[in-house]
Each structure stands twice: as C-alpha cells, then as structure tokens.
Amino acid sequence: MSVSPPRPKGPPLNALRAFEAAARLGGFANAAEELCVTPGAISQHIRALEAWIGADLFERRSQGVRLTALGAEALPGFATAFDAMGAAVYGLRSAARHGALHIAALPSVAQLWLSPRLPVVRAALPSLHISVSAIENPPNLARDLFDLSLFIRPPTGARGEQVLAQDMILPVCAPEMAAGLRSPADLMGQTLLHDALWSEDWALWARARLPGISLPTTGPRYSLYAIALEEARHGAGVLMGHQSLVQSALDDGSLVAPFDLAVATGKALVLEHPAFDPPRADLARVLALLGGQVTG
C-alpha cells in the first residue's frame, strides 16, 4: 500500500509579492498602489507570511513601517527573483503578442504630447495596435505589463530611459490677455489658473522670476491639465505652461507667452521602456519615432 503524506506548503506567491513591494517601496500604501490592491490587503498578506516563517519582517510604528533585520536581509533575493520573473513574463508576452503595444502616460502627456504624434507612428507601423492608458504615477516597467511609459518626472538615469525634453515652465494666456501684461508684476492683477497635480508651479516660477513677491493662490483649479489649457485659450486666466505640453498652442498662436522667462523644474519628459535585451523590433521603431518628434 502506497503512502502519500501531505507535502509542506510554501507561502502564497501573493504574500511574497506583497512583502517584496512593501520592502522595496518603503511602505504598505506604496506597495498597494503598485499592486493595485488596498493597504489592508498588503498588511494581511505580510501578516500571513510572518506567521508562516514565525518572525517579523516589518516593525510597525505610528509613523509607518520599517524593515526588521530579517526583512532587510531577505529583500535583495526576492527583488532579484521578481525582476527575473518580470523579464520572463515580458518575453513570453512579447513573443505571443506581436503587433500590440501598450503605453502608459501621464494624462496631460497622453492628451497633449502623445496623441498628436501617434499618427506618425501608425503611418510607419500600420499593423501595430497601440493602446494608451492614462495614469497618474509611472508604472514599474520591470513588473507591470506596459511596453512604454511617458511621464514628466525627475530622470533617474536608469537603463531604458530616454529624456525627450527638460521640463520648462512659463506663463501662457490668450493673445488678448497677453496684450495687458508688460512685466511679471502685472500678474498680481490677473486670474491665475492652477493645475492640481502641479500645484506648486506658480510658486516655483515666482521664486525665480518675482523674488519676494507672493502670487495669488485663489484662482480656479483643475484636475486635468488639458482642461486648464483650454480655459487659458478661452481667456479664463493665465496658466503656468509646461513647455512640452503647450508648445503646439504657442506655435498656432492660440496661446501666447507674454514673458520669455522660462524656469526649469528639475524634471523632464521621460520616455522609458523595459530594460530587457533586446527590445523587439516594433518597440525599437516606436522609440525612435517618438524620440525624433520632440520639437513642435
């Protein structure tokens, strides 16, 4: 009579993913955002993993969590393992899905920078099906199932990054409004339009171009930069323009920069692809096409 005793069970894969993400990103909330679950789910997974190993991986504190010595020791191995799994999944998906490309982009970049440039890509690669997801935070391309990302963010110098343009900001408005603006100090009497994502833009610009002067902060606020831009076109007020996003409006004259006083934010328009070798042919072609369309 054969004997088949039950085999010991390892921890669930989701619990290991939760630990690696929380340890790498420095907290349960950040891990939850990357894995598209709730912080409570991350906490539950990690509690289950800690119960399985019989030791704590995180110290819980009122101001957040911190890795224990055991957690810090375990992190590099799990990070390497999940990076390798991400590369394997990407390779499998790429081999099975030729002809499809999925781009993640900041909503304003997707609407104002990427969309006008996609016709050139489609004309060059007519058989390529391009999907675009507008999301607020850059994805982890080593893990998420995107082929490209486009965001205005600080460059990291990581392999796979391509800086398309430095992020420069300057006030822009409708031509009729610009006629009454002779110097930056004239902005004190104007309605200033504010974007929710870049709420510090006006203060950043003023520190460089109007030192010692605080500009009004009570103007209209918009959750979508594209709406703020349209409102500026319609004469609702003066918008702090991100040059890569407003350049086409400046070129066609629907918006005017009354002062040639741009300020660097320290960020850039960054195009990134998964740093796996080699990029497939259609992805490499898209990278070249988008990288060659920086101006305009």
pLDDT at 276: 75
CB atoms within 10 A of CB 133: 14
Task: Say which CATH number the domain at 118 has.
Answer: 3.40.190.10
Asked if residue 252 and residue 216 are part of one domain, the reply reads yes
Asked if residue 275 and residue 142 are part of one domain, the reply reads yes
pLDDT at 134: 96
Asked if residue 177 and residue 58 are part of one domain, the reply reads no
Per-residue pLDDT of the chain (296 residues; tens, 9 = 90+): 567 777 788 888 999 999 999 999 999 999 998 888 999 999 999 999 999 999 999 999 888 899 999 999 999 999 999 988 888 887 777 777 668 899 999 999 999 999 999 999 999 999 999 999 999 999 988 888 899 999 999 999 988 999 999 999 999 999 999 999 999 999 998 999 999 999 999 999 999 999 988 888 889 999 999 999 999 999 999 999 999 999 999 999 999 999 989 999 999 999 999 887 667 888 899 999 998 765 44
pLDDT at 277: 66
Asked if residue 277 and residue 144 are part of one domain, the reply reads yes
pLDDT at 295: 46
- Specify the amino acid at residue 284: A
Asked if residue 177 and residue 261 are part of one domain, the reply reads yes
Flag whether 71 is in a domain: yes
Asked if residue 102 and residue 178 are part of one domain, the reply reads no
Q: What pTM, to 2 d.p., does this model score?
A: 0.82
Flag whether 213 is in a domain: yes
Could you give the number of structural domains in the chain? 3
Asked if residue 276 and residue 153 are part of one domain, the reply reads yes
Asked if residue 276 and residue 259 are part of one domain, the reply reads no
pLDDT at 25: 92
Asked if residue 29 and residue 18 are part of one domain, the reply reads yes
Flag whether 193 is in a domain: yes
Give the domain extent around 281. 93-165+268-291
pLDDT at 98: 65
